[in-house]
Structure 1
């Protein structure tokens, strides 16, 4: 069915520091209901594609036109979340020849490496700073390189100076993510499939909101997102994607009002916020057991009630925008509203999604792995994700 058209809310663009820190939480949520319906990227998108015989032209998110004479068969990308999205739009991994080091780590840790074994050994072309290894990229002979479009010339100019075609992308909001899907649909010759994925996202937005609607009348639960840092934790602010899926699920981000990107969070601040729920990033090894064992955090409501959870890791980490984001919305909805478990059907949605995106029949054991049943075993209500 066609997506509902919902009113958009004003927003500001995300900063690169949020992405550069690798938290994956992206940036701005674009606020609640306005996000999905209003941003039909096929109508108001930054990626305008024009067919030209056997070739085509894409206007990337820098506003630069990039033309191709024919099909694109070899893609190198320095951008961490893009390979899983390329594979989802393409239905295969075969065209990806170069990736970021962080992507390789995720592929080896999660189920994506099982879906596409080649992803575990793909050549790396950039690290956490996204500066491209041009010599390595040239040896891969890509038809196109995907790179951040808002990090300055230092990450793009070396590629273009070497004569490579570069598509510059920006990231952090649902709208930007939908634009990626549209760009990739054109780049891969899969426009109809890209449209199908977007329509499914719009439908899931409507469905998840309906799932939690009856609980919205009560006071929204306070949610804190934490990512491990060398000297403690950082969190996600109101301009991060985490705020989108938290609010969609019926909660509120306790760090919403903070202005800094990925700010440090002290134990004293966590105690002051006293969140009802704590969600731990999929970008590090910190687990609920670590917080349960931390005596300094024992007075915190979420710790006391054992409502601390590790974010799932599917084809990609579920914290930031990706093609599996609708699964994150359902997961967050059930975390905040355990009574929805019998109606949520997340495990079945995972099965359907992996079949649609990757052509893969995920097993029950692999679904357990995605949902981090081992790490979340002692967290309150997590047995609801077993059925």
Structure 2
């Protein structure tokens, strides 16, 4: 991290590596744009701040290809991105009904993303109306009473502790998703598939999330999708054991 909360990169160390370009994908709000300008002024290194929203990823690849002189590969990645977004949206548009979906964060499962936040963008990109969509904002802590009132039919979580304990937790036993076993721990290696960081790492998450919420509409083998994505975008050949580790949502 160079900007924002929790900086982990020292500018002096950065300068020693003599990069030609700094690439940052995420929010392009004024705050982050000003931080990017500051780093560029302090280091003299060109700083490209790309929009990390799913709808902007394809365009970001096109721009990155122009900046690095790798237009052919950028076009390949942009095309994959655009095709994925279009295909999954068309699938969900055919859904006969929308189940109630809750996004659970934290070991207690009571942190969630509100409507319009980057944390639930993947749900909104799929046309899934998560139960907290009516409340606008960012991340928020909700009460158990509120979750019981929502009574979600599907729960998606990024927290291993919550995923492992929710079925034995008496507070959650009456929730529909828990009673029917539809609590799903999302993959997170090497980056999260649901909300963090806000970039291309969420593309396989679209297929994964679609298969959990609308299993009849997403019959594809997630192992194949995972292997193909990691090969194309990360240039890593995963073996069968590694694919299963990714899909299990383990660190």
Which interval holds the TM-score relative to the shorter structure? 0.7 to 0.9
Instruction: State whether structure 2 residue 201 is matched by structure 1 residue 327.
Output: no
| Structural mapping, 1:146-157, within 5 Å | 146-147=23-24, 150-151=30-31, 155-156=35-36
Identify the match of residue 205 of structure 1 among 85, 97, 115.
Answer: 85
Deviates more, 1:156-165 or 1:145-154: 145-154
Match of 2:178 among 299, 303, 307: 303
Which aligned segments of 4 or more residues in structure 1 are displaced greater than 6 angstroms?
none
Aligned to 1:222: 100
The aligned residue for residue 356 of structure 1 is 232
- Aligned Cα RMSD in Å? 3.0
Unaligned 5+ residue runs, structure 2?
Answer: none
> How far, CA to CA, are the matches of 1:152 and 1:339 in structure 2?
41
Determine which structure has the larger helix proportion and give its number: 2
Residue matched to 1:267: 144
Following TM superposition, by how much is the alpha carbon of 1:360 offset from its aligned partner in structure 2, in angstroms? Answer: 2.8
- d(CA) in 1 for partners of 2:249, 2:16: 41
1:141 CA drift (Å): 2.1
TM-score, normalised relative to structure 1: 0.56
Q: Deviations over 1:73-128 (max 9, x none)?
A: xxxxx3xxxxxxxxxxxxxxxxxxxxxxxxxxxxxxxxxxxxxxxxxxxxxx6784
Distance 1:224 1:351 in 2: 28
SS in 1 for 2:56: helix
Offset of residue 331 of structure 1:
0.9
Three-state SS of the structure 1 residue aligned to 2:31 is coil
For 1:351-370, what per-residue CA distance to the aligned partner results, in whole angstroms no more than 9, with x for missing partners? 22222223332211111111
1:347 aligns with 2:223: yes
Residues 186 and 249, structure 2, Cα contact 8 Å, conserved in 1: no
Decide which moves more: 304-313 or 184-193.
184-193
- Residues 88 and 210 of structure 2 are in contact (CA less than 8 Å); yes or no, is this contact kept in structure 1? yes
Matches within 5 A, 1:78-157: 78=1, 128-130=5-7, 133-147=10-24, 150-151=30-31, 155-156=35-36
Q: How far off its partner does 1:142 sit?
A: 2.1
Confirm or deny: 8 A CA contact 2:117 2:137 kept in the other structure. Answer: no
User: TM-score, normalised on structure 2?
Assistant: 0.82
Supply the distance in 2 between the matched residues of 1:370 and 1:239 (Cα, whole angstroms).
28
The 1:158/1:127 distance shift into structure 2, 3 A limit, reads: closer
What is residue 215 of structure 2 aligned with on the other side?
Answer: 338
Cα deviation for residue 256 of structure 1 reads 0.6
Decide whether aligned partners of structure 1 residues 315 and 190 sit closer, same or farther in structure 2, where only a CA change above 3 A counts: farther
Whether the aligned pair in 2 keeps the contact of 1:225 and 1:280 (CA below 8 Å) is: yes
Q: Where does residue 129 of structure 2 map in the other structure?
A: 252
Relative to total residues, which structure has the larger strand share, 1 or 2?
1
CA contact 2:57–2:78 (8 Å) conserved in 1: no
Q: How many residue pairs end up in the alignment?
A: 246
Change in Cα spacing, 1:337 to 1:298, as seen in structure 2 (3 Å) is same
For each residue in 1:325-373, what CA deviation from the matched residue of structure 2 results, as whole angstroms up to 9, or x when unmatched?
Answer: 33211111110122346x3232222222222223332211111111116
Match of 1:288 among 163, 180, 187: 163
In the alignment, structure 1 segments of 5+ residues that lack a partner are 1-77, 79-124, 376-387
Shift of 1:179: 3.5
- Secondary structure class of the residue paired with 1:333: helix
Question: Which shifted more, 261-270 or 323-332?
Answer: 323-332
